[in-house]
Amino acid sequence: LSLVEAAALAADDRLVLSASVDAAGSDTPQPVPDDPAAAVVARGRDVEGARFDRRLAVYRSLRGADAVPKTGFKFGADFRTYLDVESVDDLPHSEHLVRVVEPDHRFSPRELSLDVRLAGGVRKEMVFALTAVEGGGIDGSRNGDENGNGDGRRDGNDIADADVEWLSIGRLTP
């Protein structure tokens, strides 16, 4: 499992983690949350920074829409999605590549063209997920004890409430 998947499943009580899951090896001297699920979120933030919260919000939004997100790494995207999954042994062709960006992201023409052409080349639609979740809340603040563990951060459940705006681009023509 990726850290994003583990955080989402643990927040939904669908993955049980042992108490040995902690932020060992972390470069930041932050207190380790008592909740193992919160420790996974903390580890994700240590690895990816604010990008982790954005990716987790999008992952949970996709799962909430009954899509099955998988890694899109080999396509240069954050996720690829499957919509009609009956069995993991017989996955259909994925329909979308999803790239997570901040709402104020400025696309260069070259960047946009590369993403859209790559998606088209592998018979997928390019979708951009714009979300402002950063390190704790939609406004990026870490004030308050949002998850009740004393660290002033939100956990995976709170991130599920983040607003995600979807932008789909099917084809670019000059």
Query: Which among 141, 139, 47, 31 has a CA at the least distance from the CA of 7?
Result: 47
Q: 6 vs 36, 41, 104, 164, 173, CA distance in Å?
A: 11, 9, 28, 20, 40
- Positions annotated as catalytic residues are 82, 93, 124
The pair of three-digit structure tokens given for residue 29, joined into one six-digit string: 């001297």
- CA 113/CA 2 separation, integer angstroms: 28
